[in-house]
Amino acid sequence: MTDAPWDKSRLKNRTRLIYAGRRPSEQHGFVNTPVYRGSTVLFPTVEDLVKRKARFTYGTQGSPTTQSLETAWTELAGAAGTVLAPSGLAAISLALLTAVKCGDHILVSDSVYKPTRIFCETILARMGVETEYYDPLIGAAIDSLVRPNTSAIFMETPGSQSFELQDVPAIAAVARAKGACAILDNTWATPLFFPPHAHGADMAIEAGTKYLSGHSDLLLGLVSANKGWFSRLHATADAFAMCAGPEDVFLALRGLRTLDLRLHEAERQALDLANWLNERPEVAQVLHPALPSCPGHALWKRDFSGSSGLFSVLLAPCSNKAMAAMLDGLRLFGMGYSWGGFESLVIPFDCSSYRSATTWSPPGPALRFSVGLEDVEDLKDDLDQGFERLRAIG
């Protein structure tokens, strides 16, 4: 392996992940970049100190550890650069704060991660930024909602509970034509299944907490940006001293090496389980982007090269008590927030109280599954027994 620059443009993703961001010659030959813990960086002369003449200058502004991950992610996302944040939500707020100023209007998909809404409705509202929600399936017709002061259009595809697919290229084209910033929460697909900037996103968010970590043991956010937006993103991150802990970044680099393997395995298992659930009489609809029953499925087929391990189902009408009896007795599926780890999770969810541009009225309770790396037959057994408990109550 050589550290010297060479043309990596023809490498497949799986190979790219093995080499991205590693410089063994700078680490005495060791394969991985270690955890650099540090605040102070020492300068040899007054002149260097005053001019900050060094590759690294202070802990908040990066270290070889953070630079390894930023470099790797930039390459993977096809971006001009990447900044790190302490969580996915911090990455979302950083991207929004990079794009807006007082007096602006922004358009946000009605299907976004709920804490994104809360950030818009509290912090951005307090700063004098108005948020308007739009139907995630709107496509190019978003043009009619853009105002002269619209500075950002925020997308999330698919929505991480309700799974509507968005027409990112069409919406990003409108944003470009109108001078607004196209921001995409790309956590579900990761750049492996949906290269965000090639599809028109100016800034793309990844909650590294999910598949990049893959082990439910860290919190991390990444924002990548194209040429037009990276310097402003970087300056904003610097002004906030936005940074991520070195141990978490190290673990994310470890996760990065197996991201392609884990994502493909999660995809295979989730598709198997989704098709099995699709045949169950207790299930009214499966919301999995690779299944035709998912809203916007054709866009998944057109734009994505894979699906991950997260999907939802709408149950046929049943009481909440029956649903609770099903979930409370599960042995393998854990119940808890977040997703993308090695272990399977399930949660009930209900978007009806906060949707404003669309209505959410499923026939029965809705469940979201994050499928992990267990044997899928064991997972089916666990759910099969759960459906028995559900039917016993009705």
Ligand X SMILES: *Cc1c(COP(=O)(O)O)cnc(C)c1O
The residues that touch ligand X, with contacts defined as CB under 6 A, are 87-89, 113, 156, 160, 185, 187, 207, 209-210, 219, 221, 338
Please identify which residue in the block is written with the tokens 């650069």: 81
Cβ of residue 125: shortest distance to ligand X, in angstroms?
Answer: 20
Contacts of residue 257, Cβ cutoff 8 Å, sequence gap at least 6: 17, 18
Cβ at position 103, least distance to ligand X in Å: 27
Q: Which is nearer to ligand X, 33 or 87 (CB)?
A: 87
Residues 54, 43 contacting (CB under 8 angstroms)? yes
Rounded distance between C-alpha atoms, residue 322 and residue 390, angstroms: 5
Q: Measured from the CB of residue 295, what is the shortest distance to ligand X in angstroms?
A: 17
Decide whether 113 or 146 has the Cβ nearer to ligand X: 113
Q: What single-letter amino acid sits at 263? A: L
CB 384, CB 277: distance < 8 Å: no
Q: Nearest approach, Cβ of 217 to ligand X (angstroms)?
A: 12
Q: How many CB atoms lie within 10 A of CB 310?
A: 24
The residue among 252 and 315 lying less far from ligand X, judged by its C-beta, is 252
- The least distance separating ligand X from the CB of residue 91, rounded to whole angstroms, comes to 8
Identify which of residues 6 and 337 has a Cβ nearer to ligand X in the complex. 337
Residues 371 and 379: beta-carbon distance below 8 Å: yes
Do residues 109 and 133 make contact, with C-beta atoms less than 8 angstroms apart?
A: yes
Helices (H), the chain: 13-19, 46-51, 64-77, 88-99, 114-119, 125-126, 168-178, 190-193, 227-240, 246-257, 259-278, 297-303, 320-328, 376-393
Residue type, position 94, single letter: L
Note whether 70 and 163 are within 8 A (CB): no
Smallest gap, in angstroms, from Cβ of residue 157 to ligand X? 10
Q: Which is nearer to ligand X, 182 or 207 (CB)?
A: 207
Nearer of residues 351 and 390 to ligand X, judged by Cβ: 351
What is the secondary structure of 111-152 as a DSSP string? TS-HHHHHHIIIIIHHTT-EEEEE-TT-GGGGGGG--TTEEE
Least Å distance, CB 256 to ligand X, is 16
Residue number, 11 or 137, with CB nearest to ligand X: 137
CA–CA separation, 230 and 232 (whole Å): 5
Could you tell me the smallest distance in angstroms from the CB atom of residue 389 to ligand X? 28
Longest dimension (CA), the chain: 78
Per the DSSP assignment, residues forming a β-bridge with 311 are 369
Looking at the Cβ atoms of 118 and 298, the one nearer to ligand X is 118
Strand duo 221-225 + 181-185: pairing: unpaired
129 vs 219 by CB, closer to ligand X: 219
**Shortest reach from residue 187's CB to ligand X, in Å:** 4
- Residue whose C-beta lies closest to ligand X: 88
